[in-house]
Chain A
């Protein structure tokens, strides 16, 4: 079957019995052939009082436009509804909210069960973000980081140069670890950045144990830790405030055999990522660090 006609094929196949596929294929082949029974032209015939109708419809269209509520609002300089669900921003917000809700519900349900229960049996588990799905994004980011930090002809041995570039880099897709935070629950959290806003990092964290493959490697994520909390076993999305938080970012070296650790000062990163790229930074009082 021709791939490009797949939609037409499925539509047409509904009109015929299951045995008659070759008929459908025949129609499709003739549809785009130069000499077939089915021609691809549109028949336009004049209707009665064509000119009058045309004028009327134009006028109607114009009045319709003038009285249409949406366009009227635009003309009057009124704002569009910023809570409209069709806006991308709101859709994203809704997505975050739903994912968080699913995570919380799953946590509530699973915490009543004995340890080691498989969370995938619950329907909410489908909505929780999976760390594995974001590993591809991380690989893309590492490639991007290497392109940005070590352009052709540069050794990448000047720390100041590297740090300047890190500051203006996009961090979506990078693997961040919280080193220090005023919120001690966040310390040690690590994951791939899915989104960066002005004040927060949206991070996807891995499931630490108690689920399938991770059961065998129990405890070697952090060898000192014997058991994980329910929240850690579910993983998923975390929103980390940048304020009063230090992040560690590991960047591969030029030959990718080693890595260079960087410490990101969250307080100084409270800028939207697209503004950060072109911003001139200034040293400030360190009383908040």
Chain B
């Protein structure tokens, strides 16, 4: 089971809807991913500070999965929100979102924000912008305490594959793409060091189909960066599955003890947030063919 948990949603605010062209390009990405063997894909809605969660909204989830009906049965689609946090005071509307998205990710832009995300936020993933310098030096203690709690760290490889290939020397020395690649390798290396190669998830962040990569390419990239090949395999398969399970349990269960519904928890039927939060969805008809019912009947007759 291959997962890609980061396909950016083309619209950045709540008021807009994606244009037909943007939806078409998303579909192209999905087709490419399907061809490459991915089966679980999450759309990522990024909330950058000036944009806020509207107070009065009844639908805190702007991602409309009904646009992608033709992928039903081929790829399982999930929704994800990434909250960009500079300052601990920014994440007050989080409780509204917890049951609306399958995955909740946090992108801290300062050390305090990272500390907050690790210690007290109810999130599943922590991610960074790998095209830039990391917000702070990553300490082993901070990173591993998050992984111990079940919050995993995400590596986005589009920063490494985007832009013109090779290093083109210009007057300034290196091109933009070269700089972003430099930051990517730096950032990922320090993340691998801080996390002791545990609890990492890799995803594409692809804005066009050309940025998607085969799982073996991804594993190769991670091996180059210094991960063991078995651990890098986990980064595309079992670790993202854990993130999805964590998200499913957050929505469908009370503190992971008792979950509603009869669908399997791991690798479930797709977006849990899509189906709303009403009991009526989960109701089933009484069958009279079960062991219990037949024994009851036998006893009463």
Contact = CB atoms under 8 A, between A and B. Distances in A.
A242 to B, nearest CB: 11
A283 B258 contact: no
A162 to B, nearest CB: 7
A222 B33 CA distance: 39
Given A206-B295, A220-B289, A221-B291, A262 B257 contact: no
Contact of B284 (A220, A259, A283, A289): A259
B283 A253 contact: yes
Interface in A159-195: 159-160, 162-164, 166-167, 175, 179-180, 190, 192
Contact of A286 (B150, B280, B294): B150
B294 A221 contact: yes
Contacts of A180: 264
Interface residues of A, number: 49
Contact residues of A: prevailing secondary structure = mixed
B150 A263 contact: no
B296 A167 contact: no
Contacts, number: 133
A180 B265 CA distance: 10
A151 to B, nearest CB: 16
Nearest to B261: A261
A163 B251 CA distance: 11
Interface in B270-298: 277-280, 282-286, 289, 291-292, 294-296, 298
Interface stretch (B37-45, B46-54, B188-196, B241-249): B241-249
A282 B249 CA distance: 12
A132 B257 contact: no
A259 B292 CA distance: 14
A241 interface: no
Interface in A212-263: 213, 217, 220-221, 246, 248-250, 253, 257-263
A9 interface: no
B262 interface: yes
Contact of A167 (B242, B245, B257, B285): B257
Interface string A120-144: 0000000000011001001000000
A192 B149 CA distance: 35
A180 B292 CA distance: 20
Contacts of A131: 295
A268 B291 contact: no
B256 A284 contact: yes
A43 B6 CA distance: 95
A156 B150 contact: no
A251 B278 CA distance: 16
Given A138-B292, A163-B254, A268-B255, A258 B283 contact: yes
A159 B277 contact: yes
Interface size class of B (residues with CB under 8 A): 35 or more
Nearest to A266: B257
Nearest to A271: B257
Contacts of B150: 283-287
A246 B249 CA distance: 13
B36 interface: no
A264 interface: yes
B257 A269 contact: yes
A260 B254 contact: no
Nearest to B265: A263
B256 A283 contact: yes
A41 interface: no
A281 interface: yes
Nearest to B282: A260
Given A132-B299, A260-B283, A265 B294 contact: no
Interface string B222-258: 0000000000000000000010011001101111111
B283 A167 contact: no
Contacts of A282: 255
A236 to B, nearest CB: 14
B149 A258 contact: no
A284 B122 CA distance: 11
Interface of A: 131-132, 135, 138, 156-160, 162-164, 166-167, 175, 179-180, 190, 192, 206, 208, 213, 217, 220-221, 246, 248-250, 253, 257-265, 268-269, 281-287, 289
Interface of B: 122, 148-150, 242, 245-246, 249-250, 252-262, 264-266, 277-280, 282-286, 289, 291-292, 294-296, 298-299
Given A175-B292, A250-B284, A283-B249, 8 more contacts: A157-B279, A259-B283, A259-B285, A260-B260, A269-B257, A281-B255, A283-B255, A285-B148
Identify the 9 closest CB pairs spanning chains A and B, nearest first: A285-B150, A281-B255, A163-B254, A261-B262, A263-B259, A166-B258, A268-B257, A258-B283, A167-B257
